[in-house]
Amino acid sequence: MIQRKGVLSFLIITFGITYLVEGTAIALGFRIETIPSVAWQFIVLAMMWVPSLATVLTCRLVTGESLRFTTGLRFGPWKYYLVAWLVVPAAFAVIYGLTWLFGLSQPDWQLTELFNLATSYGATMDTAPSPTLIIVGLSVGSVFAAVWFNSLVAFGEEWGWRGYLLPRLMPLGKWKAYILMGIIWGFWHAPLIAVGFNYGSNNLLAIIFFCGVTFTLGIFINELSLKANSSILAAWIHGVFNSQGYGVWRQLFPVYNPLLGGLTGLIGIMVWLVIGLVTVKWLIREPETISTLPTA
């Protein structure tokens, strides 16, 4: 049986706070088509911690559950961290390789778009490193440096999504829980997508496509985090993903139809679907696969 009281409390708090804050920001003129002010960027960053806040409030005030023993607050096996660290960058290489192969975008080896953007904001690029050096630096940095910060920030989401909500949806059955989790996670981003996040101005169609991304990517995260009983692992995977998504690939492939190519389009959805299904098959063959997190 689903713990309806806890799940409803978590969703009301998570969506209520997020939509209220982001809706207010949008009403005041916040958009993502242009670079938001630093203040707005910090506000959006803070929203990533709302699912964790909802987890704490729900467990403390509504259900009385133990935060430590019922939300996967443990590291789990290190091999899964290594798997994610290898698989996610490889997946991005495949996604953008296919985007290039199918003619949906061409790599900007000279980083023309990035240099033009910097110039438009008053930066002098005469003394900037060569495009090749920047590409190498971004590639290395996204794998070995940015992942630590992004994982810390992503924990704000994942302690809620994979730590609290997913295990409480699992009584529905794995695939029903995964689909519902993907839809919820996707629609939580709806206000930002409506003002340009990832898709520009596609709005409703973009929200649907992003739910496809969150569902297929979610299969990979769900499987590993449930297997390891670890919301910290989920944050790590999410952090590795964000490090790649906001790293070199965005600069190397700045222009394409986001509904078709890149991490947000059909190609990204299909690649992550394949990876997710392979992960399901792989983990089924491992001993002691779990379907829910323990309760205390």
Q: For 160-172, write each residue's pLDDT tens digit.
A: 999 999 999 999 9
Q: Is the pLDDT of residue 123 over 90?
A: no
* Residue 258 near residue 206 (C-beta atoms within 8 A): yes
- Of 205, 234, 203, nearest in space to 217 by CA: 234
Inform me whether the pLDDT recorded for 122 exceeds 80: no
Three-state SS string over the chain comes to: CCCHHHHHHHHHHHHHHHHHHHHHHHHCCCCCCCCCCHHHHHHHHHHCCHHHHHHHHHHHHHHCCCHHHHCCCCCCCHHHHHHHHHHHHHHHHHHHHHHHHCCCCCCCCCCHHHHHHHHHCCCCCCCCCCHHHHHHHHHHHHHHCHHHHHHHHHHHHHHHHHHHHHHHHHHHCHHHHHHHHHHHHHHHCHHHHHCCCCCCCCCHHHHHHHHHHHHHHHHHHHHHHHHHCCHHHHHHHHHHHHHHHCCHHHHHCCCCCCCCCCCCCHHHHHHHHHHHHHHHHHHHCCCCCCCCCCCC
Q: Which residues contact 123 (CB under 8 A, 6 or more apart)?
A: none
Domain ranges of the chain: 4-284
Q: How far is CA 137 from CA 134, 145, 247, in A?
A: 5, 10, 10
> Rounded CA gap, 6 and 287, in Å?
30
For the record, the structure tokens of 227 come out as 């297997």
Give the pLDDT mean for 79-91.
Answer: 97
- Of residues 202 and 257, which shows the higher confidence score? 257
Tokens encoding 22: 């982001």
Is pLDDT of 91 > 50?
A: yes
pLDDT at 289: 45
The answer on pLDDT for 159 being more than 90 is: yes
pLDDT grade for 206, boundaries at 50, 70 and 90: very high
Give the per-residue pLDDT at 290.
47
pLDDT of residue 41: 84
Question: Sorting pLDDT into bands at 50, 70 and 90, what band is 118?
Answer: confident
Could you read off the pLDDT of 39-67 as tens digits, one per residue? 888 898 999 999 999 999 999 999 999 88
The confidence score (pLDDT) of residue 272 equals 98
Mean pLDDT of the chain: 92
Q: What is the pLDDT of residue 201?
A: 78
pLDDT of 296 strictly over 70: no
Handedness of CA 50, 53, 57, 60 (dihedral sign): positive
The Cα–Cα gap between 170 and 86 comes to 27
Q: Could you give the percent of the chain with pLDDT greater than 90?
A: 80
Q: What is the pLDDT of residue 34?
A: 65
Mean pLDDT to the nearest integer, 105-130: 86
Q: Percent of the chain having pLDDT more than 70?
A: 95
